[in-house]
Amino acid sequence: MLDVKNLTVGFPVRNRGEKAMLMAVNDVSLTLNKGDALGLVGESGSGKSTIGRTILHLNPSTSGHIALDGEEITRLSAAGERALRKRAQMIFQDPHSALNPRMTILRSVAEPLVLHTRLRGSALREKVGELLETVGLQKQFLYRYPHELSGGQKQRVCIARAMALNPELLVLDEPTSALDVSVQAQILEFLKSIQQQKSLTYLFISHNLAVVRYMCNRVAVMYLGKIVEQGPTEEVFKAPRHPYTKALLEAVPLPEAGQSRRTAPLGGDIPSPLNPPTGCAFHTRCDKAIAGKCDRVPPPEVDFGHGHVASCFLGVEGQGTTGEKIRELA
Ligand code: SF4
């Protein structure tokens, strides 16, 4: 349904007074079938959100191709972008800033319907009321303002607005991370149930591996603008092939009482995309880096079957893995 090929997104910036290009996304390819939920994970600054925003034309791409149902959508006219809004919508991290504080819930949810349909008056109100009911809110919320709602209720309103035009694809950018922990589970449960009921396709952006494991049938791991590993969620969690994926999984806290959070084995910070390392971008933090190779040559993409691929020389040469520990955690 969604086919992204060799997508690159650069932003012109000034670096120490000089013009420079910040490569937020670098040669990324991914595919989503109808009904897939693909989790995009990685640290802050890895380019996850930029991919989602670029697919929805909220920022421009530098090169590469994006196709929706076989139709090229990389470059669109204003009319083409309007048509795309009917088919693909985004749900943002912070529902507090996603809603206009001066607009009633009725006006906020009605906005896309007014722009894209002929519904008006009582028919419009009726439709917005139905949408609110779909997300578990009663019609009495129609005339309330955002400040009268809790964080979870606001995110439900955002979901209702995103669903108003019956989109096929939803890009969800950390949709629960700004909410109280007690509300997160309800919203995730709800997002999962509407995905199944309506056969929606999700691109689910998150830094939370447990959430991605619960929500997504496939996962792609990003590091410094590139996908370093992707595949079926259970397979990637049980047998991660890339040292970065393993490091992320090692950092997941253990649920048992009395166990302290594991120290992330990942040292240092993600390098600046303005000056990315040569060879494998992860070599500056990788404890398995092969001197003279990983720092010079970009690693090949190795196919482990069932759509599970990882970009690392260890996949080619046979892995000395920390697999048992990872399997325990997974
Ligand atoms: Fe580590 Fe080398 Fe694999 Fe990169 S290619 S993840 S540096 S072992």
pLDDT in tens, the chain (330 residues): 999 999 999 999 998 888 999 999 999 999 999 999 999 999 988 999 999 999 999 999 999 999 999 999 999 999 999 999 999 999 999 999 999 999 999 999 999 999 999 999 999 999 999 999 999 999 999 999 999 999 999 999 999 999 999 999 999 999 999 898 889 999 999 999 999 999 999 999 999 999 999 999 999 999 999 999 999 999 999 999 999 999 999 887 655 555 544 445 577 788 999 989 999 999 999 999 999 999 999 999 999 999 999 999 998 654 444 443 333 333
Site to substitute for ligand 1 among 314, 316, 321, most atoms within 8 A of C-beta: 314
Task: Output the CA 298–ligand 1 centroid distance in Å.
Answer: 9
Task: Find, among 242, 182, 178, 236, the residue nearest to 209 by Cα.
Answer: 236
Question: Is residue 312 lining ligand 1, measured as CB closer than 6 Å?
Answer: yes
Q: Which of 245, 288, 302, 321 to mutate to test the pocket of ligand 1 (most atoms within 8 A of CB)?
A: 288
Spatial contact of 167 and 202, defined as CB atoms under 8 Å apart: no
- Predicted local distance difference test score (pLDDT) of residue 111: 96
282 Cβ below 6 A of ligand 1:
yes
Buried b (16+ CB within 10 A) or exposed e, 92-106: bbbbeebbeeeebbb
What ligand 1 atom has the least distance to the C-alpha of 281? 4
- Written as one letter, the residue type at 255 is P
3-state secondary structure of 66: strand
The counts of H helices and E strands in the chain are 12, 12
pLDDT at residue number 253: 66
- Whether 294 is in the pocket of ligand 1, judged by its Cβ within 6 Å, is yes
Q: Is the CB of 237 under 6 A from ligand 1?
A: no
The two tokens of residue 293 are: 């190779």
Query: Of ligand 1's atoms, which has the minimum distance to the CA of residue 295?
Result: 7
Calculate how far, in angstroms, residue 220's C-alpha sits from the geometric centre of ligand 1. 17
241 CA → ligand 1 middle, Å: 10
Cβ of 266 below 6 Å from ligand 1? no
Does the C-beta of 141 come closer than 6 Å to ligand 1? no
Q: Is 200 helix (H, G, I), strand (E, B) or coil?
A: coil
Distances (CA, A) of 230 to 13, 29, 284, 306, 318: 30, 10, 21, 10, 18
